[in-house]
A = this chain, B = another copy of it.
Amino acid sequence: MRAVIPFAHSDPKSRLAPVLSPNERASFARVMLEDVCKHVRDAGCRPNILATADIEDAPAPVIVDERPLSTAVNDHLQPPVAIVVADLAILTPTALRRAFDLPGDVVMAPGRGGGTNVLVVRSPAFSVDYHGMSLSDHRSIAERQGLELVEIDSHRLATDIDEPADLVEVLLHGEGPSAAWLAERGFRPVPADGRVEIERR
């Protein structure tokens, strides 16, 4: 199966600005993309990066499409196809395979905070809408089209990396280059009031 991985160039990972410089954010976004492409391959899929501009030394074939995310993705939704977001830094091939092996016209991995992190689309009647509350929107679209939507319960698939608190998950659960990238830059988990926080040396 083909896996489309959307990747936006402009101001990547802006909500990590409190802990990473603009250059670091661009670099970290790129490392996570490599991580995701590798795991997609290891799970038996062919990754295609759907990017807003060309990517030098890309870790997978790039399709350049400058249109808004949902429009661009809907143009590449020939089933069967998987859509995997580019910032799943604690992804494993096992977690992806669990999603790929589930039945259903559409398989969806909810992202924490109401997003959609992985979609497996097996029906041409489905379309995506990443704007707003995509989890609820995708549930509605499937229902409206009479499609069976199956949701997968996975912390690794639910954890997209947007905010400083998300970096804790990468340090505690990441097995790939994204976790190594953070560790090399001095980030480590430290116990805080009730949860674990990150600290940079």
Contacts and interface: CB of A to CB of B under 8 A. Distances in A.
A98 B154 CA distance: 12
Given A169-B112, A172-B110, A195 B153 contact: no
Interface of A: 15, 92, 94-95, 98, 110, 112-115, 132-133, 135-136, 153-159, 162, 165, 168-169, 172-173, 189, 191, 194-196
Contact of A196 (B15, B133, B194): B133
Nearest to A95: B153
A132 B155 CA distance: 21
A110 B191 CA distance: 15
B15 A194 contact: yes
Contacts of A133: 189, 191, 196
Number of copies: 2
Top 10 A-B pairs ranked by shortest CB distance?
A114-B196, A113-B195, A155-B158, A132-B191, A155-B155, A133-B191, A153-B154, A153-B156, A133-B196, A153-B155
Contacts of A165: 113
B114 A172 contact: yes
A196 B158 contact: no
Contacts of A168: 113-114
A199 to B, nearest CB: 12
A149 to B, nearest CB: 14
A168 to B, nearest CB: 6
Contact of A110 (B112, B135, B155, B157): B155
A132 B195 CA distance: 8
Contacts of A112: 112, 155, 159, 169
A114 B92 CA distance: 18
